Structure 1
Amino acid sequence: MTVSQIGRIPSVARTVDRPRSSMTARRHRAFYMFTAPWIIGFLLLTIVPMGFALWLSLTTFDGLSPRWRFIGLANYRELLSDPVTWDVLGRTGLFAVASVPLSIIAGLALAVLVNRPVRARGLFRTLLYLPAVVPPVGVGIAFKQLFDTNSGAANGVLNLFGIDAIGWLADPYARYVILMTVLWGAGNIMIISLAGLQDIPRELVEAARIDGASAWRTFRSVTVPLLSPVLLFQTVTGVIASVQTIMPLLLSADATTAGVTSIPQSNYMYMMHVFAQYFALGRYGYASALLWVLFVLILIVTGLIFKATSGVVFYNVDPEAKK
């Protein structure tokens, strides 16, 4: 190799590295261009409102009057000493404990049903999923008319059997109507569970059957463990959704703002309390503090769920991916 050839080697290396670096830069630009709408939306529609709510929680702002002042953590001290806050928090927790398992079990049962090799199962899947597409406002109005004391279809059926009309939208039956609205949307859970069921290797199920395991034992020992990541996802999202339930509760009242005071006591849960503080009482600062406390509680509960299920959730990982 001559001296002139040695002198040309760095220039060749630079010409090889330059296209690679430009390609990497183009990939980075493409990545940020495609993710920019989501990033901008996340900043403007999530981070900024959360920061504004945090600032409101430290003030006496009521949404209208310019006479507000900074009071620090006074709103947080008030809500922690308010028995109503603890009452609605406990009621909301009981609702989550009841609604989340019921909705997961119902969705899983429907998924197992439509996963069987039967005719027109695509039609059955569509029909079972359709109720989940109905907007929450429509579901609330439909259930309110269905369980109306005077003209509802539920009491109409009871009258056919000589049973007196029941006040479904009053205590203590109102809580059961809200649970029915939650189960009405079990189609969403059905679709996710169905995807998880179809991802389970058939070889494992067939091996269990060959070993003499019954259908129930196969479901309990093979299907459920392999479906545990899906069940964990549904549990976490179900808890978050249940503690934020408001639309069916709001529509169970007689009116929007004035009806807050007429809502059944069993349906007066955490988000209804927040709604009352915001729009009925105009306590924006106190209501914002309630929302931030709920946000912290959701983080804690989610962490506890992940911690408690760390030993029972099994992920189906390709052995080649570990290398």
Structure 2
Amino acid sequence: MRDSATTATAKAVLRRGKWELPALRVPGRRLNFPKLFVGLAAIVIAFIALCAIAPQWVAPYSPTEMMTDILLQSPSAAHPFGTDYFGRDVFSVVVYGARDSLFIGLLSVLVGGLIGGTIGALSGYIGGWFDTTVMRGIDVLMTIPGILLALAIAAALGPSMTNIVLAVAAASIPGYARVMRSQTMSINGRPFITAARSIGVSNFGIFWRHVLPNSLSPLLVMTTIGIGTSILAGSGLSFLGLGLLREIPDWGTLLSQGRGYLTIAWWICTFPGLAITMLVLSVNIVGDWLRDNLDPKKKEA
């Protein structure tokens, strides 16, 4: 009986088209682990967004305040993340550094998704020699590792916010173009597109009203997940010295500055690293949740 019940449960899960972690039953309530993870991830993202928008509401000290009497103090109640080699409160510096890190991730995804999505959509819809020429260029770009391409562009353009965004966005364009091209070609071959052509709708009208709106779901999911990758890439460039040269450093610069003190003051680079990890992990969890809910094949299942 137990084996047959287990088999029936497994078949039911496969028919739904997705695997679910088992729910935890406790007295008086039922906890669903996936929803719990998504909720916690959303809280982390919201908190970091608050740090980026209004850091003065979260940080207990000014990020430029140097308390020379407590240099390299370990984490304590007054300074949860400790202090650095200038006597600055590390927690306050991390809070204020969230703005640049999050801004680089969001803007680079917006630029890369817009350019790459447009190129892929036009290539998939027009087809022919245009599609062949564009996709061969995309194939060439995809042979270059994304971080290496971003590193080359950032080194050539110099350290600035605009250049870092362009470098990270350029590295992500090939992926967005491939996904959007595939989705556009799939939509372009469906019966409602043929029906639209049969009643005389123009090519531009078909593309703008039917193909493009029905192709955006995968791009939306990919851009959501891509925010974490872009934040990692931007932090990596900052860590290598190609980031922003500001009085208040971003998270990648904090990691770079704290690596020399790792053996005597581990907290200087540990907490910025944990902030990057938590943000990227949370964004990926929310992105996976969006993928599961926006995938039309899973909805039909």
Normalised to the residue count of structure 2, the TM-score between the two structures is 0.57
The 1:280–1:132 alpha-carbon spacing in structure 2 relative to 1, beyond 3 Å, is farther
1:230 aligns with 2:212: no
Q: For the residues of structure 2 that align with 1:301 and 1:73, how far apart are their CA atoms? A: 29
Structure 2 contact 239–253 (Cα < 8 Å) conserved: yes
Structure 1 contact 197–227 (Cα < 8 Å) conserved: yes
The 1:221–1:119 alpha-carbon spacing in structure 2 relative to 1, beyond 3 Å, is closer
Q: What secondary structure does 1:265 align onto?
A: coil
Unaligned runs of 5+ in 2: 1-73, 84-88
Q: What secondary structure does 2:296 align onto?
A: coil
Q: What's the CA shift for 1:297?
A: 3.1
Instruction: State the Cα deviation string for residues 189-243 of structure 1 (Å, max 9, x = none).
Output: 2112222222224322233344565555544543344324312331222111122
1:292 aligns with 2:301: no
1:112 aligns with 2:121: yes
> Quick one: higher RCO (CA 8 Å, sep 6+), 1 or 2?
1
Instruction: State the Cα deviation string for residues 97-156 of structure 1 (Å, max 9, x = none).
Output: 211111111111111232222227334312123223323564355335633xxxxxxxxx
Q: For the residues of structure 1 that align with 2:270 and 2:212, how far apart are their CA atoms? A: 40
Q: For the residues of structure 2 that align with 1:250 and 1:206, how far apart are their CA atoms? A: 52
1:191 aligns with 2:201: no
Q: Which has the larger radius of gyration?
A: 1
Which residue of the partner structure matches residue 280 of structure 1?
Answer: 260
Q: CA RMSD in A?
A: 4.1
The 1:217–1:87 alpha-carbon spacing in structure 2 relative to 1, beyond 3 Å, is farther
Q: What secondary structure does 1:244 align onto?
A: helix
The 1:242–1:75 alpha-carbon spacing in structure 2 relative to 1, beyond 3 Å, is farther
Sequence identity, in percent? 13
Which residue of the partner structure matches residue 7 of structure 2?
Answer: none
The 1:219–1:239 alpha-carbon spacing in structure 2 relative to 1, beyond 3 Å, is same
1:182 aligns with 2:162: no
Normalised to the residue count of structure 1, the TM-score between the two structures is 0.54
1:125 aligns with 2:135: yes
Instruction: State the Cα deviation string for residues 273-299 of structure 1 (Å, max 9, x = none).
Output: 22322x233243443333333333344
**How many residues are treated as equivalent by the alignment?**
220
1:241 aligns with 2:198: no
Which residue of the partner structure matches residue 204 of structure 1?
Answer: 192
The 1:120–1:180 alpha-carbon spacing in structure 2 relative to 1, beyond 3 Å, is same
Unaligned runs of 5+ in 1: 1-69, 148-168, 254-259
